[in-house]
A = this chain, B = another copy of it.
Amino acid sequence: MHLWYTEYQTDNIGLSFKIKETLFVGRSKYQDIAVLDTFEFGRLLVLDGLVMTTERDEFIYHELITHPALFTHRCAKNVLVIGGGDGGSIREIIKHDNIKEAVLCEIDPIVVEVSKRYLPSLSSELENPKVKIVYKDGINFVSNFRSYFDIIIVDSTDPIGPAKGLFGLSFYRDCFAALKDEGILICQSESPIYHLDLIQEIQTNLKRVDFPIVKFYYGIIPTYPSGMWSWAFASKKFDPLRDIQEEKIKNRKFLTKYYNLGIHKAIFNLPSFFKKGLG
């Protein structure tokens, strides 16, 4: 028997994975959750029928959503991750010795449970004493803080279902308020090939909440729609190119498989169609 899983990335494009085994299929209060073991990309986490992450290429997404901010901020101590229940972002954050507290605010406890059980290479630091997990809606949670976090990372699903508000103006306003004066907000911002209109909207909203620095960067994630992915870098003080901590990157004691000094400098140089789309 040949079992295949297909994600329809748009109405007209499908990416199909040949499956060894279905490890978990279930439904939480919020969404359908599945873990499939694929031949090409290792284990695959699927939420509401959408590819969230795979063991083989997750390193690209998780290194890029974390290290550019962590190697720009002078001395981040408190970081908040909204979403990201698989634990991949937390794993990368914890590599930085300066981090005292990493809060993971995931709405769905089943995602964390499933990841701990089936995706150990992602969830490996979720039990770290520096990590606090709260099972709450990130939109409400972040609104309780004032000048508390150094970095907030929005590691959300696509802007449908529970994650929709994570792309809105009032959420960004609350993130701004929850950040210290030197704070940085990173938001995954979808595919520049398919969602340039959404990226423009994110840019407009981030500028409206008064972040003086709003930039976008990109990377290649084979299992995400179009393979090209982007993140917004919104910052109160530090610029990811001007304030890049070159020595700290060069002397870091941990390994990265995608991120390095050259990549940090390169990923803010956007292809012309992407720059043009930003206006």
Contacts and interface: CB of A to CB of B under 8 A. Distances in A.
Nearest to A226: B222
A128 interface: no
Contact of A265 (B12, B18, B259, B269): B269
A40 B15 CA distance: 13
Interface string A248-264: 00000001111110110
Interface string A76-104: 00000000000000000000000000000
B11 A6 contact: no
Interface stretch (A22-30, A168-176, A270-278): A270-278
Contact of A40 (B12, B256, B272): B12
Contacts of A271: 60, 220, 257-260, 263
A269 B263 contact: yes
Interface of A: 4, 6, 10-18, 38-41, 57, 60, 193, 218, 220-222, 226-228, 255-260, 262-263, 265-267, 269-273, 275
Given A220-B228, A221-B227, A259-B271, 18 more contacts: A11-B18, A12-B17, A12-B40, A13-B15, A13-B17, A14-B14, A16-B16, A193-B222, A218-B220, A220-B220, A220-B227, A227-B227, A255-B272, A259-B272, A263-B271, A263-B272, A265-B266, A265-B269
